[in-house]
Amino acid sequence: MITYQWCSKLDSDDRDEVLSLVAVAAEYDEEAGFSRIHPKDVTSTSRDGVRISHLPIKARRHLSAREDAPLVTVAYLHLQVDREDLGTVQFVVHPDYRSRGVATVLVEELGLDTTVDGGWKGTGAVALRCWAYGTHPASNRLTHRFGIAPVSRLWTLFHHLSGPFAVPLDPVAVPEGLTVGDPCPLGDPAALRSIDAVLGAASLVPAQRERLSDEIRLGSGNVLVATDSSGACAGFVWFDSVLSPHLDLRAASVRGLVLTEGVRGAGLGTALLAAALEGLRDAGAQLALMRIDPDDAAAVRMCRLMSFEQEDEHSCYQVGEWAEAPSF
């Protein structure tokens, strides 16, 4: 039914087909908020001890049984294996081929044994993790069938910025001794240095820090950086004003909010988040979206006090042993 072959870099024909697939899937899944694969991941290669493997999955067009039917790319799996041989999986099926058994057949053929010599299917991965964003029925069926348990959760929250359900954005004072600068593009070299400084001083486990660094590398938008009286970086908020439809409204996202350990609990997070919401509102967003860890009690309390509401829950699935908490 399907054919596939691991490669460290996609050839030009496969690359173009996979790029088309992830673009079609991203547009199809945009409003539902399901997982998506960034085009830069499709073209990525191994770097700095991180090993990248690509798996384009092909089948006869329309899953035809005729041998003369052309092969087309119906799904794609991206695997990133870190220095500790822990693998992060991203997977997507073309919308035209969903609910037709492609993912089930792939898991049945590949298996889930990460304990063999050479790791999972020779990729070196001794454990696997995959985030499933949104309550997608297919991911629920697949993980239940193969006994893959979730190890972490994530919530999507929303905040109405305009319209009848909007809550006024009252000014939030920046704590004494701290200063919040003007918004600057995420790719600005000075902003990136500030972000690196905050991430280095924040209480994030390495997997979380590396994942956020990857998202920033691939992302866009603006960042607000807070500094203390000595000029040292104390925190940042990253927000992206690109508008997309969500619940029939124009939505934009707060992508990241990180503080150094020494300033947590002083109110800086609330001040940064309020400023980011103002930026999204001024850009025309009617709805602000944000993902948080529900086990972070301080973040949950802050968002509730700022009139965020929970919309969706996401799950991280794991095969094998993994010491650190999941990143997102």
DSSP of 160-175, one letter per residue?
Answer: E-SSTT-------PPP
pLDDT digits (tens, 9 = 90+) for 245-297: 888 899 999 999 999 988 998 999 999 999 999 999 999 999 999 999 898 89
* Spatial separation of the C-alpha atoms in residues 101 and 196, rounded to whole Å: 43
Biggest CA pair distance of the chain: 72
In the structure, what pLDDT confidence band is assigned to residue 1 with cuts at 50, 70 and 90? confident
d(CA 58, CA 180): 50
- 150 exposure class (CB count in 10 Å sphere: 0-12, 13-18, 19+): middle
Identify whether the C-beta of residue 5 lies closer than 8 Å to the C-beta of residue 110: no
Residue 141 shares a structural domain with residue 167: no
Could you read off the pLDDT of 21-43 as tens digits, one per residue? 999 999 998 877 788 899 999 99
Are 231 and 172 contained in the same domain? Answer: yes
- In a shared domain, residues 139 and 276: no
Cα–Cα dist 55/78, whole Å: 6
Gap between the Cα atoms of 75 and 106, Å rounded? 10
Backbone region of residue 176 per phi and psi (left: phi > 0; alpha: psi in -120 to 50; beta: other values) = beta
Residue 69 falls inside a structural domain: yes
pLDDT at residue 273 in the model: 97
User: Of residues 212 and 46, which shows the higher confidence score?
Assistant: 46
pLDDT value, residue 207? 67
Is the domain of 127 the same as that of 177? no
Give a yes or no: residue 324 inside a domain.
no
- Domain with 259 in it: 156-313
320 in a structural domain = no
Total tally of structural domains belonging to the chain: 2
Decide: helix, strand or coil at residue 305. helix
Residue 311 — pLDDT band, cuts 50, 70, 90?
confident
Is pLDDT of 2 > 90?
yes
Q: What is the DSSP string of 13-51?
A: HHHHHHHHHHHHHHHHHTTTT-----HHHHT---BTTBE
Q: Are residues 196 and 300 in the same domain?
A: yes
At residue 116, the pLDDT reads 95
Question: Which of 148, 165, 183 lies at the terminal end of a domain, its last residue?
Answer: 148
What was the pLDDT predicted at 34?
Answer: 83
Single-letter code of the amino acid located at 210: E
The Cα 43–Cα 54 span in angstroms is 9
Q: Are residues 25 and 75 in the same domain?
A: yes
Same domain flag for 192 and 129: no
pLDDT of residue 326: 65
Tokens of 285: 């967003």
Q: What is the model's pLDDT at position 327?
A: 59
Q: Looking at the domain assignment, is residue 323 inside a domain?
A: no
Q: Quote the CA–CA distance of 196 and 235 in Å, as a whole number.
A: 10
Is residue 20 scored above 60 in pLDDT?
A: yes
Same domain, 126 and 221: no
Does residue 328 register a pLDDT over 60?
no
For residues 165 and 195, membership in a common domain is answered with yes
User: For residues 280 and 286, what is the distance between their CA atoms, to the nearest angstrom?
Assistant: 8
pLDDT given at position 304 = 93
Q: Which of 148, 176, 201 is the last residue of a domain?
A: 148
Say yes or no: 130 and 171 in one domain.
no
pLDDT in tens, 166-198: 988 888 999 999 999 999 999 999 999 999 999
132 and 162 fall within a common domain: no
What is the reported pLDDT for 280? Answer: 97
Q: How far apart are CA 60 and CA 297, in angstroms?
A: 49
Q: Are residues 185 and 303 in the same domain?
A: yes
pTM attached to this predicted model: 0.76
Asked if the structure places residue 327 within a domain, the reply is no
Instruction: Look at 149 and 184; give whichever has higher pLDDT.
Output: 184
The pairing of beta strand 86-93 with beta strand 233-246: unpaired
**Is the sign of the CA dihedral 320, 324, 325, 328 positive or negative?**
negative
pLDDT of residue 234: 96
pLDDT in tens, 203-260: 787 767 877 888 888 889 999 999 999 999 999 999 999 998 888 899 999 999 999 9
Instruction: State how far the Cα of 90 lies from the Cα of 37, in Å rounded to an integer.
Output: 7
- The answer to the question of residue 10 being in a domain is yes
C-alpha to C-alpha distance for 259 and 306, rounded to whole angstroms: 18
Q: Which helix (H) or strand (E) holds 60?
A: strand 51-60
What pLDDT, in 10s, does the model give residues 88-145?
999 999 999 999 999 999 999 999 999 999 999 999 999 999 988 877 777 888 998 9
The total number of residues shown for the chain amounts to: 328
Q: Does 321 fall in a domain? A: no
Domain stops at, among 103, 132, 148: 148
Specify if 249 maps to a domain: yes
